[in-house]
Structure formats: C-alpha cells, structure tokens
Amino acid sequence: MIKLGLTGNIGSGKTTVSKVFESLGIPIFYADNEAKKLYSLDHVKERVLLLFGKSIINDLEEVDFRLLSDLVFNDKNKLKELTSIIHPLVFNNYHKWLETIQQEPYSIHESAIIYEYSQQKYFDKVICVTAPYELRVQRILERDNTSRDKVEERIRNQMTETEKISLSDFVIVNDEKSFIIKQVLKIHYNLKK
C-alpha cells in the first residue's frame, strides 16, 4: 500500500480535498481529529495541564482548544513541548490504523504540519493543497470566528506555501477557480497504475 501525506497551510482546504479522496473510497487518517481525541485521556490531559495550567480547562472539565491554540501559536517553545506530547501518540494511532487497511491501494494521512516536524519520511509521497493568501485568511475568519491578527499570526508560524510546494510530489490548487475533483482524479489514477 502506498502511504500518502496530505498537507497544506491553514485555510488551504485540506479537509475539502480529503473528502474528495474519501468519496473515491480512499481511507483518510485525520491527524488533527485524532490529536483532539487524545486530550480526553487522563494521562495526556495531566501532561498538558502541567505545561499550561488549569486556565485551558473549560466548565465541562475539558481542554478548551481555542484557548490552547491561542497560547501555543504565540509561543513556539510551548508549541514544541505540546507537539512532543501529542505527536508520538498520534503516529502510534496512525500505525495501528494502517494495519487495519493493508488491502487498500493507498491511504492518506492528513496533517498541516508534515514538513514542520519532518514527518514526510513516513510517507511514500506527499500532496500539498494550496490557496491564495487572502482566500485562506477569509476561510479561517469565517470558520473560526476569530480576528484577522490571530489568523495572520497562525499563518506566520507555519512554513510558507512555496517551501511546502517545493518539497511535495503533488500539488492541488484550491483557489475556487480550479476544479479540485479533476486534480484529485489525476493523482488517484496516477497512484492506482
């Protein structure tokens, strides 16, 4: 089975592209969703609380992801520490998941930070989803109901699209002009050869 990584910066439309692949019957591992599930585990929550304190816990005694993201996107050291807790567990779950889908021609691991943490070595090929800067900003503003300053801060903390494109095997342009389905099908048929 071919193992694909699918990445792109915030607001590029990774999930939209993943859903198109999913509609073709391709199994997708959504790293962000898997990471969020981990915060409900007691041993993970304890480590995160040691790092950030109880201010990130909401009234339901759950980790408030909006508060947590505000903290880590403004402090690269905290982000690195949090990543060192969560990412090994996410990859452990990914490898277990791979064992359940061995019969598939290929699978996709969707994550925004494949290159930032040198995860590309785990994949045979990487797809990068791109979109114009202003369109990405607008998508995030609508999706997250946040301020433009916070959105731009998050974007500044990511590797540039140009860098990601140069490292990737495939690029999908999600600019609301180019047809995503056509681009996905081209990659899909290429991989199934």
**Residue 75 maps to which CATH number?**
3.40.50.300
Do 70 and 5 fall into the same domain? no
Domain end marker among 100, 117, 140: 100
What pLDDT shows up at residue 114? 93
Rounded-to-integer distance, Cα 132 and Cα 35, Å:
27
Do 23 and 41 fall into the same domain? no
Residues 1-52 pLDDT 10s: 999 999 999 999 999 999 999 999 999 999 999 999 999 898 999 999 888 8
- Residue 185's CB is within 10 A of a number of other CB atoms, namely 14
Q: What is the model's pTM? A: 0.90
- Phi, psi angle pair for 126, to nearest 5°: -130, 135
What's the number of domains the chain is made of? 2
**Angle, vertex CA 184, rays to CA 183 and CA 189, nearest 5:** 105
In the numeric block, which tokens belong to residue 49?
Answer: 């609380």
Domain end marker among 85, 100, 115: 100
Pick the closest to residue 4 from 117, 120, 101 (CA basis).
120
Give residue 49's domain range. Answer: 31-100
- Residue 126's CB is within 10 A of a number of other CB atoms, namely 22
Residues 51-100 pLDDT 10s: 888 888 888 888 888 888 878 877 778 888 898 899 999 999 999 999 99
pLDDT-wise least confident of 11-20, 59-68, 111-120, 169-178: 59-68
Number of H helices, E strands in the chain: 9, 5
